Structure 1
Amino acid sequence: MKTKLVYVLVSSKEDLYWEQCLISVMSARYQMPQAQIYLVCDDQTNDSLCGKREEIKQFITKLIVIPFDKDVKKIRRSRILKVTLRKIINGDFLYIDCDTLITHSLDEIDDCLFSLAAVLDGHCIFKRHPMFDFFVKQNKHLDYPIDKIVKYFNGGVMYVKDNIEAHEFYESWHNNYLISCSKGSFIDEPSLSKTNIEHGYLIHEIDGSWNCQIRFGALYLSVNKILHFCSKKNMPVSYLSQKAYLKKIKEYGINTENLMDYIRDWKSTIPQGLVTCVGEDASFAVSPLYESSRKHFINNKIKRSLYIPHHNFKDYIISIRNNMLGRIAPKYLSQLLYKELFGIDIRQAIEYDFNKMLYILSFYSNNKEWSTYADKLAVRDYIAAKGLKHILPVVYKIWDNSRDIDFESLPNKFVLKCNHDNGSTIIVIDRYSISDYYVKKYYSKKLSKQFGISTAEPHYMNIPRKVFAEEHLENDKPFSDSLVSYKFFSFYGMAEYCQIIYDSTYHNNQKSIIYRISDWKKQVGFISKNEGNIDIPCPNKLAEMKNIVKLLSENFPFCRVDLYEINDRIYFSELTFMPGAGRIKSFSQHFLNTLGKELKSTEYKWKLS
């Protein structure tokens, strides 16, 4: 095989890109023992290729290292390497994304006569692509006639000749990508599409087997040469795309259980029940039945991630009682619920028990403003007034009625939630796959309920109920399957402890750990239910987080400030005044006493006469 196989890797020990790349280069070497496999990386990635990560060098022919300024972010480094490959590599090459499995020999590519060749994104013409509207929006910033495109190519696998046409194409692609970056978009496909138009549609379409994208490419599963196992990431068809397996590779490297079996037989990577259409019956997967199956999968995943407790008849009667008492005697209801949960009267609890102090704070202090700050929409004005508008996630739309939710006006990924409650969040990673009917029905129920009545949290009752769509924040923490929430327990702006919540994709799997902020030391045993057992790295922006917590909570006797840190940027989540509705059972008594003493120490300042 004369054509070089080329990979681009920009990775650190915290992400999972090296693990994906190891799978691909191992499979390429297995299928083509004599192939020339080039790995192009930046200098920071090269410095990280030690220990287990050095194993990847066993499978490559040549490592090419390109230096970058340290302040250039990973995503930009990765794409710049990709769009400048023609200047880096001598000879014809086949570029291959890291999240791929090579399932057959690729030596046929030597016979390719075209300067550039690639596979259609979605394995269909552009206007029939299920994500057509999304791609149009994604390309708007480059201001070119995208409506004229018939073929929109996926840049995950590209054949590139060493000729003048290809060199000129890559020079233009690089320039267009830099323009894209200047307008805030760091993905490479829009600039690839624009460059293809400018060069007279130079990219030639090759068979879908060269880049079988799992979501749309099942027609090519039985004949695939390159399986793009992370394609679109919205239906984890292959074990190789699952974080849990990639984390095993991080730990065990080339000796990971089943890895060689998966490389020898790609079909063994497919869990039974997710995709039944492999081999000769693969055409099923591009039929309406496949689309309905995929939607069923996505919607079931959403439902499993929501916390919807099961109620029997006894629970139903209790809920009626709680709703009645919550309206006429919330203080008595709070006492009743505490006694039913802990077996003692709250007034007889330890003097500085945190739950008891929250009860006193809730019913014996001036907390009229809590309703405003607990409102996920109204609180945004407070955040902005504090000079912290930059930490607010983007809100796309707000609706008073669930019937009015307009999915067509939203991007492909977004988050839905109510402003007046807890636990109503739905994370949408593919708006083309969700059931509009189910989502609207779900929020119709949420908006019909006046949150806080049955839990004796009267400050929620005055919040005008709405549902809104917010930007989707991508988790960047390899130790969690979900966004990591940092919850700071603050007393008049002073916070000594932070609860870190992770692995919360499914409610029952959620883990948490308490850290002391001053020295970022894990407080083992402070969590009595579902305590995590891993070490959480100190947030890079911890100092800035502390300043934000101080600003937002300095006027409150107690307030929990919830923040995210994503790619070295801080995002606001919410303010909470009554965690666990004032009946926290997941903390150890020692930790409850520690927090309670903090609140007790300022009781003279906030307690009403």
Structure 2
Amino acid sequence: MRLKKRFMLSLKNSLRFLPDRQYIKIYYCAKFGGFPNIDEPSTFNEKLQWMKLNCHDPRMVSLVDKCKVRDFVEKRIGSQYLVPLIGVYNTVEEFLGADLPNEFVVKCTHDSQSAHICIDKATFDFGAAARGLETALKRNWYWQGREWAYKGVKPRIIVEEYLRDRERATPNDYKFYCFDGVCKMIQCDADRFENHKEQFFSPAWESYGDWHVSHVPEGELLAKPDGFEEMLTLSQSLSESFPHVRVDWYCIEGKPFFGELTFYTGGGFDPFHSKEDKLRDPLDRYLGDCLVLPEQARTLYV
């Protein structure tokens, strides 16, 4: 683990006793070098902090659950967009005792970064996966960034089919940033485990740069995928009635498969063009303008 990552993890643990608002301000300062304006937010990251503290829509609790969200997707756009489900398990022992296919993806239903990919059961390290899942099951993801929706999610293990893409080792991720049912930006993650590229585009597939800088040379731009227009339409359908939600997809040979719904991208702590001025990032401000905060948020969803 890199030194900076160790420091941030240590900071999270040492500040756990703090109330949400104080924790958010200190952690935000550690990430960006300045405190957020939570009472009058203007940037996207500032507004996500406001949403965590004020927008407590009870629907979000089931929609951040990687198992329960499947019901929502099926009812709104159809089950054909869901990654085929193999099983859901309450314990690591149940997972280890399950009759699994040769290829699968296993992860927890309540967090991020707990996924393990198996492309060959004979060589898959079940021990390492079990240890990682055991640790994840004991962790309430809410404490990582005080993301309200995760506080009440029951930790479980979900196993889905492995989506094999003939063109690349791992499928690309397409993340649609939607606001009240309208997509304003798409993030594409390619080759996540080797030579990772992370680029941003408008709904017309005009480049907004990548994670490091606002300009990407023409020859390095990722191509618009087959199935893009379908993913765009479906994302806007799934995001209706939410001030903001990011809708994530895989696209295999032109066929979209739903990934997840995310209400707090990066916990509201991720700069976009991270090598440029973090507090004056144009994408942070552009998306901040797109996110219209609901009025009287604490009483909207009672």
2:272 is the counterpart of 1:583: no
Aligned with 2:145: secondary structure? coil
Q: Distance in 2 between matches of 1:487 and 1:578?
A: 13
2:6 is the counterpart of 1:322: no
Aligned with 2:260: secondary structure? strand
State the AA in 2 paired with 1:593: R
State the AA in 1 paired with 2:289: K
Q: TM-score if structure 2 supplies the norm length?
A: 0.87
Per the alignment, residue 207 of structure 2 pairs with 522
Q: Distance in 2 between matches of 1:424 and 1:381?
A: 22
Aligned with 2:223: secondary structure? coil
Aligned with 2:131: secondary structure? helix
530 and 466 in structure 1: CA distance in 2 versus 1, 3 angstrom threshold: farther
Q: Is the 8 A contact 2:84 2:161 kept in 1?
A: yes
2:31 is the counterpart of 1:341: yes
2:76 to 367, 373, 386: 386
Q: Is the 8 A contact 2:243 2:294 kept in 1?
A: no
Pairs within 5 Å for 1:29-108: none
Q: Distance in 2 between matches of 1:539 and 1:444?
A: 36
Per the alignment, residue 214 of structure 1 pairs with none
State the AA in 2 paired with 1:482: T
Per the alignment, residue 84 of structure 1 pairs with none
Q: Distance in 1 between matches of 2:202 and 2:246?
A: 15
- Flag as ranges the 4+ runs of structure 1 deviating above 3 A: 308-317, 348-351, 529-533, 604-609
Question: How far did residue 357 of structure 1 move?
Answer: 1.2
State the AA in 2 paired with 1:528: H
Q: Distance in 2 between matches of 1:316 and 1:572?
A: 30
Question: How far did residue 367 of structure 1 move?
Answer: 2.5
Unaligned 5+ segments in structure 2 are none
2:127 is the counterpart of 1:441: no
Q: What is the RMSD of the two structures over their aligned residues, measured on CA atoms?
A: 2.6
State the AA in 2 paired with 1:527: W
Per the alignment, residue 484 of structure 1 pairs with 172
State the AA in 2 paired with 1:595: L
Pairs within 5 Å for 1:23-422: 317-325=10-18, 329-347=19-37, 351-406=41-96, 409-422=99-112
Q: Is the 8 A contact 1:488 1:499 kept in 2?
A: yes
Q: Is the 8 A contact 2:105 2:118 kept in 1?
A: yes
| Greater relative contact order (CA < 8 Å, ≥ 6 in sequence) | 2
Q: Is the 8 A contact 2:44 2:285 kept in 1?
A: yes
Give the fraction of aligned pairs with identical amino acids, expressed as a percent: 22
Q: Distance in 2 between matches of 1:317 and 1:353?
A: 27
Aligned with 1:431: secondary structure? coil
State the AA in 2 paired with 1:571: F
2:182 to 471, 484, 494: 494
Question: How far did residue 316 of structure 1 move?
Answer: 6.6
Aligned with 2:73: secondary structure? helix
1:562 to 240, 243, 248: 248
Q: TM-score if structure 1 supplies the norm length?
A: 0.45
371 and 465 in structure 1: CA distance in 2 versus 1, 3 angstrom threshold: same
Aligned with 1:453: secondary structure? helix
Question: How far did residue 331 of structure 1 move?
Answer: 2.2
Query: How many corresponding residue pairs?
Result: 291
1:474 to 164, 176, 196: 164
2:200 is the counterpart of 1:510: no
Q: Is the 8 A contact 1:415 1:471 kept in 2?
A: yes
315 and 548 in structure 1: CA distance in 2 versus 1, 3 angstrom threshold: closer
Q: Distance in 1 between matches of 2:186 and 2:119?
A: 29
State the AA in 2 paired with 1:321: S
Larger Rg: 1
Question: How far did residue 544 of structure 1 move?
Answer: 1.4
